[in-house]
Amino acid sequence: GALLALSKPPGLPILGRPGDLSLDALLPALRRRLGLAAELHVVKAPAREYSGLVLLSSCYHTTKKLQQFFTNARQRGQYPATYRAITVGVPEEVEGEICTGLCWQHQGDKAVVVPVPAPGRRSLARKDVKITQTHYRVLSAMGGCALLQLQPRTAFPEQLQVHLTLLLCPALGDHEHSSHVGRVLGVPFFLSPETAPTRTQVLDEELLSRLGLSPRQLHHLPLHIHLQELVLP
């Protein structure tokens, strides 16, 4: 019918400035290629850094109805989006909840998302901090890495990356937040964002070898978080 599903590669933004490559800029060409009469609208799509499902619609009313469904689903305690992630490290518990406050913080000339473990009432009331929650389950583990299923129960930019660092298992290819997980004698611990500047993710030689990468190529490694499934009404 009106719906079309695609699989987006990591690094492709949904919206962009005129002349930039973005999903939105590709929609007219996609419409012509498929011979569709009506314009295509983005119903649901993963963030720029993520890969995975993009849901498009050629019917304005269907788009609005589904977007309202996704908004209302969280309020009803339903979580229609399921992600997969490959992590560097394996969580101690096979299944659990990650719950923390998140906020934007200015560091130098840029804004970054940081966890706030015990936010005050005033910061919550002013909406400076938002309580966020993600359910996770380990699907597989091998060689110090794990495949996780993630169901975000709230929506906040970079929520999944930050929550994985709080598990001390950053996502493979996370060059933004992985520096917040340090190691002493092989034991991981959390470093505050203020003391751990952003850098290219550091991987041990064995994992680099298995990935077929040199240290110089690491900054090209994409973020391994993938929107796997969307449940529709």
User: Mind listing the pLDDT tens digit of every residue in the chain (233 residues)?
Assistant: 899 999 999 999 999 888 889 999 999 999 999 999 899 999 999 999 999 999 999 999 999 999 999 988 878 888 899 999 999 999 999 999 999 999 998 877 888 898 988 888 888 888 889 999 999 999 999 989 999 999 999 989 999 999 999 999 999 999 999 999 988 877 888 988 778 888 899 998 999 999 999 888 999 999 999 999 999 98
Task: For residues 111 and 220, give the distance between their C-alpha atoms in angstroms, rounded to a whole number.
Answer: 23
Task: For residues 70 and 126, give the distance between their C-alpha atoms in angstroms, rounded to a whole number.
Answer: 25
CATH architecture of 3-78: 2-Layer Sandwich (3.30)
The token pair at 136 is: 């996770």
Domain map (residue ranges) of the chain: 3-78, 83-230
Beta-bridge partners for 136: 96, 150
pTM to 2 decimals? 0.91
Residue 163 host element (H or E): helix 159-166
Burial code (b: 16+ CB inside 10 Å, e: under 16) for 1-20 equals ebebeeebebebbeeeeeee
